[in-house]
Amino acid sequence: MEAIPPGALTRDLSTLLNLFDFEESAVDWMTKMAYEYVASGAADELTLRWNRQALDAIRLNPTVLTDVSQLDTSVSLFGTRLSHPILIAPTAYHRLMHPEGELATVRGAGAASALYVVSSFTTTPLAEIAQRATQPLWFQLYVRDDRAFTQNLIQEAEALGYRALCITVDTPTPGVRNREHRSHFKLPDDVRTPHMGGPLVEKKPLTWKDIEWIQSFAKTPVLLKGILNPDDAERAVESGVSGIIVSNHGGRNLDTVPATIDALPRITERVDQRMPILLDGGIRRGTDVLKAIALGASAVLVGKPICFGLACGGAEGVAKVLQILQHELELAMALTGRATLAGIDRSVIWQ
């Protein structure tokens, strides 16, 4: 991992033992505006809380006296072998959290052998991130009214080696974000988004026809991010996309939709192994990762904790957040008697 430049905000991370510690510590290392932007949810933040509460409510059913001397956390997604099923979710404006922004994030991903899904609202050009990547990159896309701009952006990402395209489909309009607005959120003058000319104020609705259009020229796998309804999951299978991400946008868009872990079993049943399903929303512990896999996810994505890790320690903070989760997943597998991800099924959930 490259050395962090002198003067960057770094600290002793040795006392931060879990992802909740990182969030608590990040308060001291972020502006109030930046912290509120990352931590907040929509409206009354019920869905934001439910994402955690639903995971906490699931109890595990361990099996003893099984051979867990050799644990295998690897997973294959769209032809890429990953050493573990924990991905960096797309989140915007990393230079709000650390002076190096996404360049620190991508170095942290490399140190922790993690796939990084880069946001359309990156504050660093895609090319610069790709130059420093040592692990696979995917690209998250907001489809703008200017469809030619959108096509060019997709093709630029593909030419740079981004291996999959995650289209956010749950944001025809931003949600009610009272807490964010109270913090008077505004990007500083020196923080820009090179691939997004401004905020999302699109007038053209994104429809299934647009997904078909994107698939007509995209050369990489297309995933739809923001699926909660099993009927939409079925439509996604029929549309020929490569995968879906069960997501409620981190509880940031429509409040009172269910926790993603509650939506997952219905979607898993409907999809019936016809495509990979990923999940984000509330993942903070290795046991959460285990539960998601048990209920049908091939992998999970982590967003807010990455931002807090970035704020606390740049690349080192990002890497430590991921490494904590990876280690906790291994412990959870060993303690429930599951040596491989394939061995994690619904029998590990206490019924």
* 181 labeled part of a ligand binding site: no
Residue 249 annotated as binding? yes
Strands 75-77 and 80-82: antiparallel
Is 351 annotated as contributing to ligand binding? no
Q: Which of 94, 195, 249, 327 is catalytic?
A: 249
On whether 155 is known to bind a ligand per the annotation, the reply is: no
The reply to whether 110 sits in an annotated binding site is no
The yes-or-no answer on residue 184 being catalytic is no
**Residue 282 annotated in ligand binding:** yes
Is 327 annotated in a binding site? The answer is no
Annotated binding residue 90: yes
List alpha helices for the chain, DSSP H: 19-26, 32-39, 46-57, 102-111, 126-132, 147-159, 178-182, 208-217, 230-239, 260-271, 286-294, 304-336
Q: Is 285 annotated as a binding residue?
A: no
Buried b (16+ CB within 10 A) or exposed e, 240-257: ebbbbbbbbbbbbbbbeb
Nearest-CA neighbor of 177 among 249, 227, 95, 246?
A: 249
Are 139 and 152 a contacting pair, CB within 8 Å? no
Is 283 annotated to bind a ligand? Reply is yes
Distance CA 175, CA 48 (A): 13
Q: Binding site annotation covers 252?
A: yes
Instruction: For residue 346, give the amino acid letter.
Output: R
Q: How far is the CA of 182 from the CAs of 29, 40, 43, 176, 311, in angstroms?
A: 20, 11, 12, 12, 21
Which DSSP letter does residue 340 get? Answer: B
84 among the known binding-site residues? Answer: no
How far apart CA 190 and CA 199 sit, in angstroms, is 16
Judge whether 204 is annotated as a binding position.
no
Binding site residues, as ranges?
Answer: 37, 90-92, 119, 140, 142, 168, 177, 225, 247, 249, 252, 280-284
Query: Would you list which residues are annotated within the binding site for FMN?
Result: 90-92, 119, 140, 168, 225, 247, 280-284
Which residues contribute to the annotated binding site for glyoxylate?
A: 37, 142, 177, 249, 252
User: Active-site residues: which are they?
Assistant: 249
